[in-house]
Amino acid sequence: MKPKIVIFASGNGTNAENIIKYFQATETAEVVQVLSNKKDAKVLARAEALNVAAQSFSKTDLNDPEIIGKKLSEIDPDLIVLAGFLLKIPEYMVADFPDKIINIHPALLPAYGGKGMYGMHVHRAVVENGESQSGITIHYVNEHYDEGGIIFQAKTRLTPEDSPEDVAAKIHKLEYEHFPQVLENLILSL
Ligand code: GAR
Protein backbone atom coordinates (compact mmCIF):
# COMPACT_ATOMS: atom_id res chain seq x y z
CA MET A 1 0.00 0.00 0.00
CA LYS A 2 1.18 3.52 -0.78
CA PRO A 3 2.09 5.88 2.08
CA LYS A 4 -0.95 7.93 3.07
CA ILE A 5 -1.27 11.71 3.36
CA VAL A 6 -4.09 13.54 5.14
CA ILE A 7 -4.49 17.26 4.37
CA PHE A 8 -6.00 19.79 6.76
CA ALA A 9 -7.10 23.06 5.10
CA SER A 10 -9.41 25.92 6.06
CA GLY A 11 -10.11 27.80 2.86
CA ASN A 12 -9.61 27.94 -0.86
CA GLY A 13 -7.38 24.89 -1.08
CA THR A 14 -5.25 25.63 -4.13
CA ASN A 15 -2.25 24.07 -2.38
CA ALA A 16 -4.30 21.03 -1.38
CA GLU A 17 -5.43 20.61 -5.00
CA ASN A 18 -1.86 20.95 -6.25
CA ILE A 19 -0.62 18.32 -3.77
CA ILE A 20 -3.46 15.90 -4.60
CA LYS A 21 -2.74 16.19 -8.34
CA TYR A 22 1.00 15.79 -7.82
CA PHE A 23 0.59 12.53 -5.92
CA GLN A 24 -2.09 11.23 -8.30
CA ALA A 25 0.64 11.38 -10.94
CA THR A 26 3.29 9.52 -8.87
CA GLU A 27 3.56 6.22 -7.03
CA THR A 28 5.24 7.73 -3.95
CA ALA A 29 2.16 8.45 -1.86
CA GLU A 30 -1.54 9.16 -2.00
CA VAL A 31 -3.72 11.88 -0.48
CA VAL A 32 -6.47 9.81 1.13
CA GLN A 33 -8.44 12.42 3.06
CA VAL A 34 -9.00 16.19 3.18
CA LEU A 35 -10.34 17.64 6.43
CA SER A 36 -11.56 21.20 6.90
CA ASN A 37 -12.81 23.19 9.88
CA LYS A 38 -15.09 25.16 7.50
CA LYS A 39 -18.05 23.32 6.08
CA ASP A 40 -18.29 25.65 3.06
CA ALA A 41 -14.53 25.75 2.35
CA LYS A 42 -13.73 25.49 -1.36
CA VAL A 43 -11.07 22.91 -0.54
CA LEU A 44 -13.79 20.30 0.11
CA ALA A 45 -15.22 20.63 -3.40
CA ARG A 46 -11.73 20.65 -4.91
CA ALA A 47 -10.92 17.36 -3.13
CA GLU A 48 -14.20 15.71 -4.09
CA ALA A 49 -13.71 16.70 -7.73
CA LEU A 50 -10.44 14.75 -7.60
CA ASN A 51 -12.10 11.75 -5.90
CA VAL A 52 -10.48 12.35 -2.53
CA ALA A 53 -12.62 11.89 0.60
CA ALA A 54 -13.46 15.28 2.11
CA GLN A 55 -15.07 16.08 5.42
CA SER A 56 -15.60 19.09 7.67
CA PHE A 57 -15.39 19.18 11.45
CA SER A 58 -15.83 21.68 14.27
CA LYS A 59 -13.13 23.13 16.51
CA THR A 60 -14.54 20.97 19.33
CA ASP A 61 -14.18 17.86 17.13
CA LEU A 62 -10.55 18.77 16.43
CA ASN A 63 -9.72 19.07 20.11
CA ASP A 64 -11.41 15.77 20.96
CA PRO A 65 -9.11 12.73 20.68
CA GLU A 66 -12.27 10.58 20.42
CA ILE A 67 -13.37 12.38 17.22
CA ILE A 68 -10.55 13.69 15.02
CA GLY A 69 -7.97 11.67 16.98
CA LYS A 70 -9.97 8.50 16.35
CA LYS A 71 -10.47 9.34 12.67
CA LEU A 72 -6.72 9.83 12.25
CA SER A 73 -5.82 6.63 14.05
CA GLU A 74 -8.22 4.73 11.77
CA ILE A 75 -6.57 6.23 8.69
CA ASP A 76 -3.06 5.82 10.16
CA PRO A 77 -1.46 8.46 7.89
CA ASP A 78 2.25 8.62 7.15
CA LEU A 79 2.10 12.43 6.90
CA ILE A 80 -0.41 15.06 7.98
CA VAL A 81 -0.12 18.20 5.87
CA LEU A 82 -1.46 21.61 6.86
CA ALA A 83 -2.15 23.54 3.65
CA GLY A 84 -3.68 26.84 4.72
CA PHE A 85 -5.03 25.46 8.00
CA LEU A 86 -5.80 28.17 10.51
CA LEU A 87 -6.59 26.42 13.80
CA LYS A 88 -4.03 25.41 16.37
CA ILE A 89 -3.14 21.72 16.26
CA PRO A 90 -4.04 20.13 19.62
CA GLU A 91 -1.32 18.65 21.79
CA TYR A 92 -2.65 15.10 21.54
CA MET A 93 -2.13 15.21 17.75
CA VAL A 94 1.43 16.51 18.09
CA ALA A 95 2.09 13.69 20.57
CA ASP A 96 0.44 11.02 18.37
CA PHE A 97 2.27 12.08 15.18
CA PRO A 98 5.77 13.25 16.14
CA ASP A 99 7.57 14.81 13.14
CA LYS A 100 4.71 13.77 10.88
CA ILE A 101 2.71 17.01 10.85
CA ILE A 102 3.99 19.49 8.30
CA ASN A 103 2.87 23.10 7.81
CA ILE A 104 3.51 25.64 5.09
CA HIS A 105 3.79 29.28 6.12
CA PRO A 106 3.71 32.09 3.54
CA ALA A 107 6.75 34.01 4.86
CA LEU A 108 10.35 33.48 5.88
CA LEU A 109 9.96 32.30 9.48
CA PRO A 110 10.78 33.28 12.17
CA ALA A 111 9.75 36.60 10.58
CA TYR A 112 6.01 37.20 10.15
CA GLY A 113 4.91 34.16 12.16
CA GLY A 114 2.74 33.53 15.20
CA LYS A 115 -0.90 33.83 16.08
CA GLY A 116 -2.94 36.00 13.68
CA MET A 117 -0.21 35.87 11.00
CA TYR A 118 -1.79 33.96 8.15
CA GLY A 119 -2.67 34.47 4.50
CA MET A 120 -3.15 38.10 3.45
CA HIS A 121 -2.34 39.37 6.96
CA VAL A 122 1.22 38.21 6.37
CA HIS A 123 1.49 39.78 2.90
CA ARG A 124 0.03 43.12 4.08
CA ALA A 125 2.58 43.29 6.91
CA VAL A 126 5.43 42.43 4.52
CA VAL A 127 4.39 45.25 2.13
CA GLU A 128 3.85 47.76 4.97
CA ASN A 129 7.40 47.10 6.17
CA GLY A 130 8.83 47.65 2.67
CA GLU A 131 10.54 44.24 2.59
CA SER A 132 12.63 43.54 -0.51
CA GLN A 133 11.99 39.79 -0.27
CA SER A 134 9.60 37.25 1.16
CA GLY A 135 9.21 33.53 0.79
CA ILE A 136 7.82 30.26 2.07
CA THR A 137 8.70 28.10 5.06
CA ILE A 138 7.84 24.41 5.30
CA HIS A 139 8.24 23.20 8.88
CA TYR A 140 7.34 20.55 11.44
CA VAL A 141 4.42 21.39 13.70
CA ASN A 142 4.81 21.52 17.46
CA GLU A 143 2.62 22.96 20.25
CA HIS A 144 3.46 26.56 19.31
CA TYR A 145 2.31 28.43 16.20
CA ASP A 146 5.02 28.48 13.51
CA GLU A 147 7.85 27.35 15.81
CA GLY A 148 8.60 23.76 14.77
CA GLY A 149 11.88 22.83 13.05
CA ILE A 150 12.33 24.29 9.57
CA ILE A 151 12.54 21.77 6.73
CA PHE A 152 12.73 24.06 3.70
CA GLN A 153 12.63 27.73 2.73
CA ALA A 154 12.54 29.47 -0.66
CA LYS A 155 12.70 33.20 -1.34
CA THR A 156 11.21 35.57 -3.88
CA ARG A 157 12.21 39.16 -4.65
CA LEU A 158 9.69 41.94 -4.09
CA THR A 159 9.57 45.34 -5.75
CA PRO A 160 8.38 48.57 -4.07
CA GLU A 161 5.37 48.45 -6.45
CA ASP A 162 4.19 45.02 -5.30
CA SER A 163 0.76 45.08 -3.63
CA PRO A 164 -0.18 42.47 -0.98
CA GLU A 165 -2.06 40.64 -3.77
CA ASP A 166 1.10 40.63 -5.93
CA VAL A 167 3.08 39.22 -3.01
CA ALA A 168 0.40 36.56 -2.47
CA ALA A 169 0.69 35.53 -6.13
CA LYS A 170 4.49 35.27 -5.92
CA ILE A 171 4.22 33.21 -2.73
CA HIS A 172 1.59 30.87 -4.19
CA LYS A 173 3.86 30.28 -7.18
CA LEU A 174 6.68 29.22 -4.84
CA GLU A 175 4.30 27.03 -2.86
CA TYR A 176 3.03 25.20 -5.95
CA GLU A 177 6.59 24.71 -7.18
CA HIS A 178 8.11 23.33 -3.96
CA PHE A 179 5.55 21.99 -1.48
CA PRO A 180 4.71 18.66 -3.20
CA GLN A 181 8.38 17.84 -3.85
CA VAL A 182 9.37 18.60 -0.25
CA LEU A 183 6.57 16.30 0.94
CA GLU A 184 7.68 13.61 -1.48
CA ASN A 185 11.25 13.80 -0.17
CA LEU A 186 9.97 13.49 3.39
CA ILE A 187 7.91 10.41 2.44
CA LEU A 188 10.88 8.84 0.70
CA SER A 189 13.02 9.35 3.80
CA LEU A 190 10.49 7.68 6.17
C1 GAR B 1 -1.13 29.60 1.62
O2 GAR B 1 -0.42 30.69 1.09
C3 GAR B 1 -0.49 29.13 2.91
O4 GAR B 1 0.89 29.32 2.95
C5 GAR B 1 -1.17 30.02 3.92
O6 GAR B 1 -2.51 30.10 3.50
C7 GAR B 1 -2.53 30.04 2.06
C8 GAR B 1 -3.61 29.06 1.65
O9 GAR B 1 -3.84 29.13 0.27
N10 GAR B 1 -1.06 29.46 5.25
C11 GAR B 1 -0.99 30.21 6.35
O12 GAR B 1 -1.05 31.42 6.34
C13 GAR B 1 -0.84 29.42 7.66
N14 GAR B 1 -0.38 30.26 8.70
P15 GAR B 1 -4.68 28.01 -0.48
O16 GAR B 1 -5.95 27.76 0.36
O17 GAR B 1 -5.01 28.56 -1.81
O18 GAR B 1 -3.83 26.76 -0.56
- CA–centroid distance, 84 to ligand 1, in Å, is 3
pLDDT digit string (tens) for 90-121? 999 999 999 999 999 999 999 999 989 999 99
83 lines ligand 1 (CB under 6 A): yes
Nearest CA to ligand 1 atom 5: 84
Say if residues 120 and 106 touch (Cβ distance below 8 Å): no
> Can 105 be counted among the known catalytic residues?
yes
41-51 confidence digits (pLDDT tens): 999 999 999 99
**Is 13's C-beta closer than 6 angstroms to any atom of ligand 1?**
yes
Q: Tell me the pLDDT band of 144, cut-offs 50, 70 and 90.
A: confident
Residue pair 82/101 in contact (Cβ under 8 Å)? The answer is: yes
Instruction: Please give the pLDDT value at position 146.
Output: 87
pLDDT tens, residue by residue, 61-77: 999 999 999 999 999 99
Exposed e or buried b per residue across 90-117, where buried means at least 16 C-beta atoms within 10 angstroms of its C-beta: beebbeebeebbbbbbbbbbeebbeeeb
Global confidence as pTM: 0.98
Single-letter amino acid, residue 30: E
Give the architecture-level CATH label for domain 4-188: 3-Layer(aba) Sandwich (3.40)
Site to substitute for ligand 1 among 88, 137, 172, most atoms within 8 A of C-beta = 172
